[in-house]
């Protein structure tokens, strides 16, 4: 089951987030996996990033295996603008990235793992974006 809880104060398409999560989980053969995605504001995300990663800056997604994927819509909005991408596309990429971390993929575990994770991320992103126009 995928649960999405929006605490960010911004309007976000929770159904889209849930659909993205379900597509990735099904493809990874983890459809029975319970997953909680929590959307938080920029201040909360910066605090979590400082507390758990010792990085005093805003980030778009943090993954806590066995607990939650925490997503910051404001950071996604900022990143989308900088990349000249749509909010929806950047949201999809961030949710996919967080779910792959939740499923134990780790781009910081060496070049081979980074390539493996990036390839999956790109494949899911293409499938989701092209199938949801």
23-71 pLDDT tens trace? 999 988 988 778 999 999 999 999 999 999 999 999 999 998 777 999 9
Known binding residue 16? Answer is no
Say if residue 76's pLDDT is above 80: yes
Residue 15, domain CATH: 3.40.390.30
Q: Which domain holds residue 60?
A: 2-131
> Residue 129's pLDDT is what?
67
Q: Any binding-site annotation on 107? A: yes
CB contact at 8 A, 67 and 36: yes
78-117, pLDDT tens digit by residue? 999 999 999 999 999 999 999 999 988 877 777 888 888 8
What percentage of residues in the chain have a pLDDT greater than 70?
Answer: 96
Domains held by the chain: number: 1
pLDDT at 132 over 60: no
């Amino acid at each position: 089951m995928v649960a999405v809880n929006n605490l960010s104060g911004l309007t976000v398409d929770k159904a889209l987030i849930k659909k993205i999560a379900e597509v990735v989980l099904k493809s990874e053969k983890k459809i029975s996996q319970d997953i909680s995605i929590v959307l938080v504001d920029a201040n909360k995300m910066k605090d979590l990033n400082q507390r758990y990663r010792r990085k005093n800056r805003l980030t778009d997604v943090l993954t806590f295996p066995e607990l939650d994927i925490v997503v910051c819509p404001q950071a996604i909005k900022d990143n989308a603008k900088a990349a000249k991408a749509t909010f929806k596309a950047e949201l999809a990429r961030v949710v996919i990235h967080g779910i792959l971390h939740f499923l134990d993929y780790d781009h910081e575990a060496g070049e081979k793992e980074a390539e493996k994770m990036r390839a999956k991320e790109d494949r899911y992103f293409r499938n989701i974006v092209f199938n949801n126009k």
